[in-house]
Structure 1
Amino acid sequence: MMIVKLPKENYYKINKLLVSPQEKIENVLNAVISGMNQGVVYVDQIEEPRTAIVYAVGLGYYLLGDPENESFNSHLGNLISTQLKQESQDLCGGTWFIANIFNETWKKALEKVIDERKYYVGYNVYYELDTRRFNNSLEQPRHILDEDLAIVKITKELINADEDLREELTEYWSSAESFIQCGLGYAVLKNDKVISTCYSCCVNGDRHEIYIATFDQNVQNRGLATILGQQYIKECLEKGYSVHWTTDESNEPSKRVADKLGFDYLHRLMSFEFAF
């Protein structure tokens, strides 16, 4: 027995491996399993998977099921060094293996298969929106956009016209069409060029994961993330979506923006990271 790629039409088969409350509500993971966002799934066997590794393109890996399944673990090191490394490079230029760990036993399993590589253990922190706090944030003194900047909704035309935005979105979404159909977002323009954006990087039912990216480093610390976040969240709430924010525990600027927009800390999840 070895590790095989699970055909997309069979992704539903790994739903039974989602056991803990965290696994069941993890937005990015479930968005891949449902086929909404870009990803690849590997399992020990196609018919009755006991163990799986899920790659959410651009966002990391998730290990599910039995962490002591030797028929899977004995091939995992080779899978990471060859297939996953190449795939990550091809799909998003990724050079790191970043696994989200729901179960401490998976950390032990990974330590055994990574060959002498130096690895790091960190944490991702998860937030959900407190709508009362968000509405209060709207009443605070507003950040004002400079005259040379404009905020616009992301449209298919804008995605096709702006290479930075297109590259950013298609890391997570299979096409501009799928993003427009299921996600939403806003962008700040300077001379018709996108310099900053806030959008749904993944969607799981009515749960939207917020992501903010800035392409022009000269406009950092000018409140654009807050302005974009407010615009994006307002539309999500109008449409009845819940909004969620995930970031690295060491990313203080990201955590500050989350707090400013009215997000409350929910829980954290261990991440196991090393360079391919």
Structure 2
Amino acid sequence: MIVKLSKEDYYKVNKLLVTPQEKNENVLNAVISGMNQGVVYVDQIEEPHTAIVYAVGLGYYLLGDPENGLFNSYLGNLISTQLKQESLDSCGGVWFIGNIFNESWKKTLQKVVDGRKYYVGYNVYYELVTERFKKGLEQPGHILDEDLAMVRITKELINADERLREELKEYWSSAESFTQHGLGYAILKNGKVISTCYSCCVNGDRHEAYIATFDQNMRNCGLATILGQQYIKECLERGYGVYWTTDESNEPSKRVAEKLGFDYSNRLMSFEFEF
């Protein structure tokens, strides 16, 4: 069987985090700690042997025993019903993106796709090299046009800007929660947010950076670099570690990460199919 854990019981899956990669995965641990939005399912409440953790807007993490027959016998139905509906309701997502630390999970998921076409990809992880970042600050940078302004993301800005509010609510339960635990900056044009860099999840003092540009006409204009530098600078001043994760095929995101001073760390397999 598969049951949903109450939020106060999420800590029970910590024992399933065995490898360094599992213990350090920011998004996964941000959900388990209750900092970011998500749902945890397990085979049994008291002593879980297998779990699936949903990080809203970011995907699923499969933990523990990939050969748990009872759990696996219910997994296909859980994905097709409960997880599908949760994804639609929470962020409009129509894809199951399962992140797997143990490749044996790939065989399990192949059995539950029920004839759907699936894809195997990788998320790539980057860690900030502080000295490289600081050297980048010394280089001549982009200058914002007169009609643009960079501001800190505040509760007032979130409440005033619908696109920013919709963006953040995929990861954070409220504007208050974000401003208390995360941080970010936005670029405004005519009072509206057109681009932003913010903490999409927080795991202790580890902040996961995310950049979104809402105005497609403003992409490739250097805004990501300007925002990223300001965001990272403040993170470092506060003593936070800064991390970056993206799909292996997302070359623009990888280029921005490297330009900001991030170095490739490792990658994680993802198993993806449409609900």
Do both share a fold (TM > 0.5)?
Answer: yes
Deviations 1:113-158 (A, max 9, x none): 1111100000000000000000011011111111110000000000
- Which runs of no fewer than 5 residues in structure 1 stay unpaired? none
Which residue number corresponds to residue 266 of structure 2? 267
Q: Secondary structure at the match of 2:144?
A: coil
Is 1:89 the counterpart of 2:81? The answer is no
Percent sequence identity is: 84
The aligned counterpart of 2:136 is 137
SS at match of 2:15: helix
- Match of residue 204 from structure 2: 205
Deviations 1:7-57 (A, max 9, x none): 100000000000111000000000000000000000000011100000000
Could you tell me which amino acid in structure 2 is paired with residue 63 of structure 1?
L
Query: Following the alignment from structure 1 to structure 2, what is the Cα–Cα distance between the partners of residues 202 and 267?
Result: 19
AA of the residue aligned to 1:219: M
Q: 1:200: Cα distance to partner?
A: 0.1
The code of the aligned residue for 2:131 comes to: R
* In structure 2, C-alpha distance between the alignment counterparts of 1:124 and 1:8, rounded to whole Å: 27
CA distance in structure 2 between the aligned counterparts of 1:253 and 1:145, rounded to whole angstroms = 20
CA distance in 2, matches of 1:144, 1:275: 42
Match of 1:148 in 2: 147
Alignment of 1:245-256 (within 5 A): 245-256=244-255
* Counterpart-to-counterpart distance in 2, 1:114 and 1:121: 13
In 1: Cα distance, 2:258 partner to 2:146 partner: 27
Hey, what does 1:16 align to over in structure 2?
15
The 3-state SS of whatever aligns with 1:200 is strand
Question: Which residue does 1:58 correspond to in 2?
Answer: 57
Q: List 4+ stretches of structure 1 deviating above 4 A.
A: none
Aligned residues: 275
Distance in 2 of aligned mates of 1:140 and 1:109:
49
Unaligned runs of 5+ in 2: none
Range with bigger deviation, 227-236 or 136-145? 136-145
